[in-house]
Amino acid sequence: MKLKIICVLMISICFQYCYSQTKNAKTDIGFIKELSGKDATQIKLFDHPALNERMKKIYGKEYKNFLENLSGYSNPIIIKGDYGFVFLVGKYRYSGNCGIYFDFKQNLIYATIGAAQVDVDPLVFSENKVKSIPINIINLFN
């Protein structure tokens, strides 16, 4: 009897582990590291299923505005260690530009929509709902 219970528990644990690994593989942003130096808009980075779904969750109702704002030009994707960054040029003068920061260690994305005026801070969106980008990440790319 104890052996059956142990077997059932082990099968359950293995199933949960395999499911979580599969789920994480589908949403992992690690693939972006291989895209260093490429133009995000030319390679259609935001069409990648994992990234597209995550960006929709980050921006929420602003996601449509984010996509419409893209001009078709970005600076090359920059990778520094466990972090990445891409700067996207906005289409409209007063809607600002966008910056996307990738934390590969934590598998997190931080996104901004820049303000058109110098004295106004950009809007920050993130998966962990913080309204600021960690300073260690910002310092790497500024």
Looking at the DSSP bridge assignments, the partners of residue 83 are 80, 103
Tell me the pLDDT of the chain (142 aa) as tens digits: 555 444 333 444 433 433 333 344 457 999 999 999 999 888 889 889 989 899 898 888 888 877 877 777 788 999 999 999 998 888 765 566 888 999 999 999 998 887 555 566 778 889 888 888 898 998 998 8
Which three-class secondary structure state does DSSP give residue 51? Answer: helix
- Tell me how far CA of residue 19 lies from CA of 71, 112, 114, in angstroms: 38, 32, 38
How far apart (Å, rounded) are the C-alpha atoms in residues 62 and 59?
A: 5
Contact 101, 83 (CB under 8 A): yes
Which three-class secondary structure state does DSSP give residue 98? Answer: strand
How far apart (Å, rounded) are the C-alpha atoms in residues 72 and 13?
A: 46
| Predicted TM-score (pTM) of this structure | 0.75
How far apart (Å, rounded) are the C-alpha atoms in residues 39 and 74?
A: 6
> Residue 118: its pLDDT value, please?
58
